Chain A
C-alpha cells in the first residue's frame, strides 16, 4: 500500500522550497534560462510527488493519511506533524499543479529578476502545501504566515504601478486577521495543553468561548476568502499583481481562508458555527449578489475577474454554512474548480496583457479575428466561469444551489441569481474583448497563442472539461471526510 510510503508530504513541502533556493543560486541575469529550467524541473518534481497522494489514498477512511509525526519544540508540546484527509489532499495536488502552470506562464513575460521570481513562487508553493498538510497549530500558523511573504514580495516587486499600495493593503489586511487567529490558537493551547489539531477538535468548549473564538478565527479566514465586507484588498492586489501572482492568489491563496473554516471554525467551534450560520449565509449571499452586480460594471479585466472570484467564493462559504452534504461537497468542488477556472481566466488576461500591455476592456475588440485559438479557449473558460454544465464551474455551483434550496428556498433563490449575474459579467466582457469588428490597429497586429501558451491553457481546459463531465473521481475522495466533519459539527460539543 502506497499509504506506507513515508515522507511524501514532507517532500511535497520541501522539494519546491529547495528548488526555490537553488534557483536563487542562478540569480545573475545571464543565468535566467538556467533558473527557469531549475524552476520547471522542481515544479514538475513537486507535482510528481503529490500524485501518489491521490492514487494511494484510502477513500474509505476519514482519518488523516500519509501521517508524519515528530517532536519539534517539546517545551510547548509542538510537533512537526503532517497528514491529509479527503478535504485537504486535493488542494495539495492542485497547488503543486498550479505551481507548474505559474512557472510555465512566466517563461517569457517575466524578464527581470527571473530567479527571484521563480524562487518566490516555488517557496510559496512549498509553504502552502505545508498549510494544507499541517496537523499542528504552530506549524500551521508558521506556514500560514510565511506564505504571505513571497506573495507580498511578488506583488510589491513585479507588480504594476500602484503595487506598493496594493501589497501593503494585502499584507496589513491579512496580518490583522491572523493575529486574532494566533490569539485563538493560544487559547486552545491553554485549554488543551496541546497544539495537536485532533485534540483541539475534541476540546470541550462552552458556547460563550466558542463564540469568541469563532469570531477571532473568522477575522482571519474571512479576510483570506475574502468575504464581504473585508474583500476590498483583493481587486487591488489582483490588478497590481503579475500574472503568476494573480494565478496563485485566485487559485490557491483564497482557498486558504475557506480551508481554515473547514479545519478550525467548523470542527473546533461547531456550536458557535451553527449559531452564527445565518450571519455567515447572509454575508455569503451578499458576496454572490452584490459583488455580482459590481463585477458587471468593471472596466478593467483583472478587476472584473477578481470580483467574480469573490462572488464564486461566496458560494464556497455558503456551501459550508448550510450544513448539508450537497452544500459542503459542492463548496469543496467549487474551490477546486475555481482553482482551474480563475487561474485560466487570469492567464488569458495575461496572454492579452503580454501583447498589448493593457487590461482595459475598452482597448480590445475583435480579438477573435487574429487570435482564433485563444478565442476558443477563452470561450471555454468564460463559460466555465459562468457555470455552464459540462465545465467544472457548474458542478460546485449546482450542488451548492441544490443544497441551498434544501436548506431554505429563498437562500437558494438568492444563490441562483449567479446564473444570470455570472453570465452577464463574464460574457459581456468576452463580447467586448473578443467579438466585434477588427478596427483597432493594435489588435490587428496581435499574434495567436504560441506552443507554450497553447499547452498551458490546453492542460487547464482539459482539467475544466474532465471535471465537468465526470466529477465523481474528485468528489469521491472527499465523501467520507465530509461526512465525518458534518456529523461532528451536527453533534456539537455542548
Chain B
C-alpha cells in the first residue's frame, strides 16, 4: 500500500476508532477523554482530507478495492475507494462540518448524561458518511447509506425517554426504508444487467444498456434504474413525498440536526445522483422526474417554513426547500451546481442550525420563537453569525448562497427538459419565500420586543419531561461559551467566502470535468459559463436580476409584518384561514401516512392474522381436519355397539345393496 493509500484509509478509520473508544469504553475513560479522542479522530480525518485534496488537485485519481466482501458467480462485491475531485470535495465538507459540530457539542451537551454516547454516535456517523462518499461501488454506497440512516435513527431517538423522539426516529427509519426499497431494486437492476456494481464498469456498460427494457415490465432499463435509485435519494434527501421524516427529526439534539439533517447525510442523495451522472444523462425521463420532484419540494416545503413557530423547524423546512433546489439542479443536468450548492449550503445551514442551538441554550431550552425577541443585545456573536447565515441562505450577492443559488436558477432558465418551466417558477417563487421565512425568524428572534421571561404562551406537548424549561420571569438570555461560538465563527467564514472563491473552478473550470458527465444537449450551465466574467462581476450583475429583488422583497415583507406592523399577520391569517390550516397541517401528509399507510398496514396485518392464520388455516384446515378425524371416529364408534342384532341388520342392508348393484350385471352375464 502506498503512503497515499494509507492516508485514504486513515480518513474513515480515525473517526471509527474514536467512535469505538468513546462508545465501548466511554464510561471508563470519562467525559473529557471521550471528546478528546473523538475530536482527534475527526481532526485527523480533516487534515488527511486536506492532503488528499492537494494530491487530487495535482491530478491524481485513485480507484481500487480494499477487499472483496463476497463473490457470487461472476459478480464481485468489493469494498474500495474512488478518490477524485467529487469525493474529496465531499470529504472536506463532511470532515470540516463534523469537526465544528464535535467541538460545539462539548458546550451543547455538557450537562447531558449521555455525553460519551453522543460523541461515539457522531464519530460513527462521520465514519459512515466518509465511507459512503469514498466508495467506488454501489454496494459500499448502500452500506454507508444504511449506516448513516442507522446513526440518524439512534441520534433522533437520543433522548429515548421522550415519546416524541422515539416516534420520530422510528418514522425516520421507516420512511428511509421506503426509499431504500427503491434504491435496492435499482442496485438489483444494475447488477442484473451491467453484471457489476463497480461505478467505472457500470458507466462503461451504460451505452449498451440504452436500448434494453426491463423484462416483465417493458420499461426502458436505464430510466427504471435511475428512477429506482432516485427513490432512494428521495428518502435520504427528504424529497416530497418522502420528506415527512425530516421535520420530525428535529427531536434530536441540535448538533446532529446541523451535521446530519442539514449539512451532510441529507445531501447523500444529491451526491449519489451527481456521482452516477453518466447513467442519469442517458435518461431524460428520469431527469424530468427528478426535476419535478425537486421543484415541488423547493417551493412547497419553503411555504411551510412560514407558519412554523419552533426555531428548529423553520430551519428544517428551509433545509427541505434547499434540498429541493439541489435536486432541481440535478434534474437540469447541472450536477456541478448541485454539488456546489450542497457545499455552500452545508456551511451556512450548519451555521444556522448551530446558531439556533446557541439561541436554544441561551433560552434555556425554549424553542418557541414567540417567546424570544431582542436577543441581539444578549447574544452578540450568535446574532451576527445568524445574520451572516441568513444572508447567505437568501442569496445576497457576494455571499456563498448567492453564487450557488443563482447558478441553479440560471441553469433552470436555460434548460430545455420537460418540466423546466414549472421548475423555473418554483425556484423563483422559492427565492421570495426563503427570504421571507428566514428573516421572519431572524426578526422574531433577534429584534423587536423582548418576549421571554413571561409565562410560556404555549405549553409544548412534552414540556413535562424537563427538556423545555424556558427562561424564568426576569431571567435574561446569555451568550454561549466559546466552544459554541468559535464553531459559529469558523462556519461563518466559509458561509461568506466559499462561493466567491470556488465558483469558478467548480462550475466553469475543469474541477469536475472527468467526474461529472453532461451531454452537450443537456448542458444548462453553458449560458452562464459564457456570461461569466469573474465572481465579482457575477455579484454585480446579480444586483440587477429578479432573484435579488425577490429576496429583497421577502426581507422587507418580513420586516414589515413581524417588526413594523406585528398585528397584521394575525389579520392575514384570519383572512386565509383554509390556506393557513393546510400549511399548519403540512398538507396532511402526516395524517395520510398515519391513517392510510400505518393504520392500513396494521389493519391488513390483523385481518391476515385473524382471518387467514387463525380462522382459515388453523380453524378450518388444521383444527378442522382434527375435528373431522374426531367425528369419523365418533361415528365409527357408534357402529361398534357390540349388539348382535345391529350387526345382523347391517349385514342384511349390505347384502341388499350389493345385490342391487350387481343384479343387473349378473343378469347381463346370464343373458350372454
- Could you list which residues of chain A lie within 8 angstroms of chain B, going by C-beta atoms? 169, 173, 229, 232-233, 290, 293-298, 324-326, 329-330, 366, 368-369, 383, 388-390, 394-395, 398-399, 401-402, 404-406, 408-410, 412-413, 416-417, 419-420, 423-424, 427-428, 431, 434-438, 469-472, 475-476, 479
B193 nearest in chain A by CB position: A406
Give the residues in chain B near A368, CB-CB below 8 Å.
160
Q: Using A437-B161, A472-B71 as known contacts, say yes or no to A293 and B604 having CB atoms under 8 A apart.
A: yes
Task: Quote the shortest CB–CB distance from B138 to chain A (angstroms).
Answer: 11
Does B609 have its Cβ within 8 Å of any Cβ on chain A?
A: yes
Interface pair B192/A390, CB less than 8 Å apart: no
- A405, B70: Cβ atoms under 8 Å? no
Q: Which of B143, B161, B188 contacts A366 (CB 8 A)?
A: B161
* A–B Cβ pairs within 8 angstroms, 17 of them: A169-B622, A290-B612, A293-B608, A294-B605, A297-B609, A325-B72, A399-B70, A401-B185, A405-B189, A405-B191, A416-B185, A416-B188, A419-B177, A420-B178, A427-B170, A427-B173, A437-B163
Q: B617 on the interface (CB 8 Å rule)? A: yes
Asked if B143 and A390 make an inter-chain contact with CB atoms under 8 angstroms apart, the answer reads yes
A177 to chain B, nearest CB (A): 13
Chain B's closest residue to A291 (CB) is B608
A489 → chain B closest CB, angstroms: 15
Of residues 609 to 634 in B, which have CB atoms within 8 Å of A's CB atoms? 609, 612-613, 617-618, 621-622
Given the complex, which residues of B lie within 8 Å of A410, measured CB to CB?
216-217
Query: B417: CB under 8 A from chain A?
Result: no
Provided the pairs A388-B146, A409-B217 are in contact, do residues A424 and B601 lie with their beta carbons within 8 angstroms?
Answer: yes
Tell me whether A435 and B160 are in contact (CB under 8 A): yes
Complex Cα gap A41–B249 (Å): 50
Residues on A with beta carbons closer than 8 Å to the beta carbon of B71: 472, 475-476, 479
User: B36-87: which residues lie under 8 A (CB-CB) from chain A?
Assistant: 67-73, 75
Name the interface residues of B130-185: CB closer than 8 Å to any CB of A: 142-143, 145-147, 150, 157, 160-163, 166, 170, 173-174, 177-178, 180-181, 184-185
The 8 Å CB contact of B73, one of A229, A324, A472, is A324
How far apart sit A295 and B606, CA to CA, in the bound complex (Å)? Answer: 9
- Is there an interface contact between B147 and A405, defined as CB atoms closer than 8 Å? no
In contact, A296 and B601 (Cβ under 8 angstroms):
yes
Instruction: Report yes or no: A472 in contact with B69, Cβ–Cβ below 8 A.
Output: yes
Q: Identify the 3 closest CB pairs spanning chains A and B, nearest first.
A: A405-B188, A325-B73, A297-B605
CA distance A325 to B77 in the complex (A): 14
Q: Which residues of A contact B160 (CB under 8 A)?
A: 368, 434-436
Q: Which residues of A contact B474 (CB under 8 A)?
A: none
Would B188 and A232 count as touching, CB distance under 8 A? no
Give B contacts to A, CB under 8 Å: 67-73, 75, 142-143, 145-147, 150, 157, 160-163, 166, 170, 173-174, 177-178, 180-181, 184-185, 187-189, 191-192, 214-217, 224, 465, 601-602, 604-606, 608-609, 612-613, 617-618, 621-622
Residue contact A402 to B609, C-beta cutoff 8 Å = no
Question: A438 near B161 (CB under 8 angstroms)?
Answer: yes
Which residues on A sit within 8 Å (CB–CB) of B143?
A: 389-390
Determine whether the beta carbon of B157 is less than 8 Å from that of A326.
no
Further 11 A-B residue pairs, CB within 8 A, beyond A326-B72, A410-B217, A436-B163: A229-B617, A293-B601, A294-B612, A297-B605, A368-B160, A399-B72, A404-B188, A405-B189, A412-B185, A431-B170, A471-B70
A408 and B70 in contact, given A293-B601, A296-B602, A419-B181 (Cβ under 8 angstroms): no
Check B69–A401 contact: CB distance below 8 A: no
Residue of chain B at shortest CB distance from A230: B617
Cα A388 to Cα B142 with chains together (Å): 10
Question: In chain B, what residue has the closest Cβ to A235?
Answer: B613
B170: A residues at CB distance < 8 A: 427-428, 431
Taking a contact as CB atoms under 8 Å apart, the answer to whether B605 and A295 are in contact is: yes
Least CB distance from A196 to B in Å reads 30
Chain A residues with CB under 8 A of B173: 423, 427
| Contact across chains for B189 and A409 when beta carbons are under 8 A apart | yes
User: If the complex has contacts A232-B618, A326-B75, A389-B142, are A408 and B215 also in contact, measured as CB distance less than 8 A?
Assistant: yes
Chain A minimum-CB-distance residue to B175:
A420
Tell me the smallest distance from the CB of B430 to a CB of chain A, in Å: 31
B594: min CB distance to chain A, Å: 14
Q: A293-B604, A293-B605, A294-B605 are in contact. Are A406 and B146 (CB under 8 A)?
A: no
Chain A nearest CB from B483 CB (Å) reads 27
Distance (whole angstroms) from the CB of B558 to the closest CB of chain A: 39
User: A383 touching B150 by the CB < 8 A rule?
Assistant: yes
Inter-chain contact A390/B608, CB cutoff 8 Å:
no
A428: nearest chain-B partner, CB-CB? B170
Chain A residues contacting B180 (CB-CB under 8 Å) are: 419
Hey, which chain B residues are within 8 Å of A398, CB to CB? 184
CB-CB nearest in chain B for A173: B622
Known: A395-B70, A437-B163, A470-B67. A413 touches B185 (CB 8 A): yes
Q: Is A424 within 8 A of B184, CB to CB?
A: no
Residues of B within 8 A of A431 (CB): 166, 170
CA distance A435 to B180 in the complex (A): 25
**Complex: how many Å from CA A402 to CA B622?**
36
State how many angstroms separate the Cβ of A374 from the closest Cβ of chain B: 14
The answer to whether B608 and A402 touch across the interface, beta carbons within 8 angstroms, is: no
Q: How distant is A420 from chain B, measured CB to nearest CB, in Å? A: 5
Task: Chain A residues near B177: list those with CB within 8 A.
Answer: 419-420, 423
Docked-complex contact B216 and A408, CB < 8 angstroms: yes
Q: Which of A173, A293, A296 has the most CB of B within 10 A?
A: A293
Contacts of A419 in B (CB 8 A): 177, 180-181, 184
Q: In the assembly, what is the distance between CA of A389 and CA of B71, in Å?
A: 16
Q: Which residues from chain B contact A417 at a C-beta distance below 8 Å?
A: 181
Give Cα A200–Cα B612 distance, bound, in whole angstroms. Answer: 38
B153 (CB) vs chain A CBs: closest residue: A427
Q: For residue A486, which residue of chain B has the nearest CB?
A: B73
* CA gap between A420 and B185 in the complex, in Å: 13
Residue of B75, B142, B609 contacting most chain A CB atoms (<10 Å): B609
Name the CB-closest residue of A to B189: A405
Closest partner residue, chain A, to B184 (CB atom): A416
Decide if A405 touches B166 in the complex (CB within 8 Å).
no
**Among candidates B75, B174, B188, residue contacting A412 with C-beta atoms closer than 8 Å:** B188
Chain A residues with CB below 8 A from B606, complex form: 297
Complex: A431 Cα to B170 Cα, angstroms: 8
Chain B proximity of A466: nearest CB distance (Å)? 12
Q: Inside 8 A of B162's CB, which chain A residues have their CB?
A: 437
What chain B residues lie within 8 Å of A366 (beta carbons)? 161
Residues of chain A with a CB closer than 8 A to B621's CB: 229
A261 to B261, CA, bound (A): 47
Find out whether the CB atom of A402 lies under 8 angstroms from the CB atom of B147. Answer: no
Nearest CB on A from B34, distance (A):
16
Q: How far is the CA of A381 from the CA of B621 in the complex (A)?
A: 35
How near does chain A come to B121, taking the closest CB pair, in angstroms?
12
Whole-angstrom distance from the CB of B80 to the nearest CB of chain A? 14
Tell me the complex Cα distance, A412–B186, Å: 11
* CB-based contact A294/B613 at 8 Å: yes
Q: How far is the CB of B577 from chain A (nearest CB, A)?
A: 37
Return chain B residues, CB-CB under 8 Å to A295. 605
Q: Give the nearest-CB partner of B214 in chain A.
A: A409
Nearest B residue (CB) for A368: B160
Contacting pair A402 B216 (CB below 8 A): no
Closest residue to B146 on the A side, CB-wise?
A389
Residues of A within 8 A of B601 (CB): 293, 296, 424
CA distance A479 to B189 in the complex (A): 23
Q: How far is the CA of A315 from the CA of B177 in the complex (A)?
A: 18
Known A-B contacts A229-B617, A366-B161, A428-B170; the reply to A390 vs B146 at CB < 8 A is: yes
The answer to whether A424 and B191 have CB atoms under 8 Å apart is no
Question: Complex formed: what's the CA distance from A324 to B191 in Å?
Answer: 13
CB pair B166–A435 under 8 Å, yes or no, is yes
A472 in contact with B161 given A296-B602, A297-B602, A325-B73 (CB within 8 Å): no
Report the bound CA distance from A428 to B153 in whole Å.
13
Rounded to whole angstroms, the CA-CA distance of A475 and B224 in the bound complex is 30
Residues of chain B within 8 A (CB-CB) of A233 are 622
Bound-state Cα–Cα, A126 to B384, Å: 74
B contact residues around A438 at 8 Å (CB): 161
